[in-house]
Structure 1
Amino acid sequence: MDGGLRSRVLDYLQTHHSMTIASQGEEGVWAAAVFYVNDGFRLYFLSAPTTRHSRNIAWDGRIAITIQEDCADWPQIKGIQAEGLAVEIGGDDERRARELYGAKYPVVGKLAQAPAAIVKALAKVRWYRFEPERLFFIDNSAGFGRRDAIDCRS
């Protein structure tokens, strides 16, 4: 894999905060935005298990995600598209996710100092891990329709 591409994608993941999840479940397809944190290409997020996207992940963990810029001109389009498997996590994996999440989002990492509404909300969530199989980095500033692929399974 191109080391420069890998580095650009990891930098992009570090400097962005929200991703859109596309999932499929008994009620059909659904998209939802969540905050994430990355550990390499592995992404962690949290959500209430009652949300439609969480129910969909429990039904079928295969999802797609996007992370992108909010821009008004085609040459500015830049972002990530990926497909893979999302699962609810616990144990050591959850502890790692909480640690990373707290470093990126200090209000979550310092629960003793967090507003009561945040503490109450976090008591109701589950933690999830997304393992991309394939990831595409889109960068129209490098050429219209520029899309470089990374096979995350290797």
Structure 2
Amino acid sequence: MADFAALPNAILHYLEQQHVLTLATQDADGLWCASCFYFFDSASASCYLMTSDSSRHTQAMLAKPHIAGTIAEQTRNVAKIQGIQFTAIAKPVAEADEKMIKDKYCEHFPVARLKSAPLWQLELQTIKMTDNLLGFGKKHHWQRDIKQA
């Protein structure tokens, strides 16, 4: 059972349908963005990605794990704009979960079977989704509220 409020269906569906996110990190040299393939896991409300240890964004996530990002399709029709802005806590996938997460990642991106790179969990903290399909400026919001035991 999840320890957070359920995601609105519109957000859940959108995260499951997309596969590229842009993450924003910060290091000693300033801000940096990177586009990454991801798969979404609703049970943990997390996006998982694979990225090299030597990349600037990986090094930034190690130093400052609170990151932000976007997920959006490209359209010229304002009435069809949909997209997500999010904040997350980035962390390397735990060794105990590595095989399971890699198998799921490779289901979505089979070419990843040929790569050896660390897997990262982006534990989503806040989400704002713009969904103009429901009317201009329609927004959906979600925040991870940890339930108290």
TM-score, with structure 2 as normaliser: 0.85
Q: Which residue of 2 aligns with 1:63?
A: 67
Q: CA deviation at 1:13?
A: 1.5
Q: Which residue of 1 aligns with 2:97?
A: 93
Secondary structure of 1:96's match? helix
| Stretches of structure 2 lacking an aligned partner (at least 5 in a row) | none
Q: CA deviation at 1:25?
A: 0.9
Q: CA deviation at 1:19?
A: 0.3
- Aligned partners of 2:97 and 2:145: how far apart in 1? 19
User: Contact 1:26 / 1:59 at 8 angstroms: preserved in 2?
Assistant: no
Q: Which residue of 1 aligns with 2:140?
A: 148
Secondary structure of 2:58's match? helix
- Count of residue correspondences: 141
User: Contact 2:5 / 2:145 at 8 angstroms: preserved in 1?
Assistant: no
Q: Which residue of 2 aligns with 1:54?
A: 58
Q: Which residue of 1 aligns with 2:20?
A: 18
User: Deviations 1:55-104 (Å, cap 9, x if unpaired)?
Assistant: 11011001111111111122221011110200112312222321211221
Secondary structure of 1:63's match? strand
Identity among equivalent positions (%) equals 27
- Aligned partners of 1:26 and 1:2: how far apart in 2? 35
- Aligned partners of 1:71 and 1:42: how far apart in 2? 26
- Aligned partners of 1:14 and 1:141: how far apart in 2? 17
- Aligned partners of 2:98 and 2:85: how far apart in 1? 24
Secondary structure of 1:128's match? strand
Secondary structure of 1:153's match? coil
> Where do 1:1-154 residues align within 5 Å?
6-40=8-42, 41-108=45-112, 111=113, 119=114, 122-123=115-116, 125-154=117-146
- Aligned partners of 1:143 and 1:7: how far apart in 2? 17
| Stretches of structure 1 lacking an aligned partner (at least 5 in a row) | 112-118
User: Deviations 1:98-151 (Å, cap 9, x if unpaired)?
Assistant: 12112212333xx3xxxxxxx2xx22x111000111111210122222221111
Q: CA deviation at 1:2?
A: 9.1
Residue type at the aligned position of 2:20: S
TM-score, with structure 1 as normaliser: 0.83
Q: CA deviation at 1:54?
A: 0.6
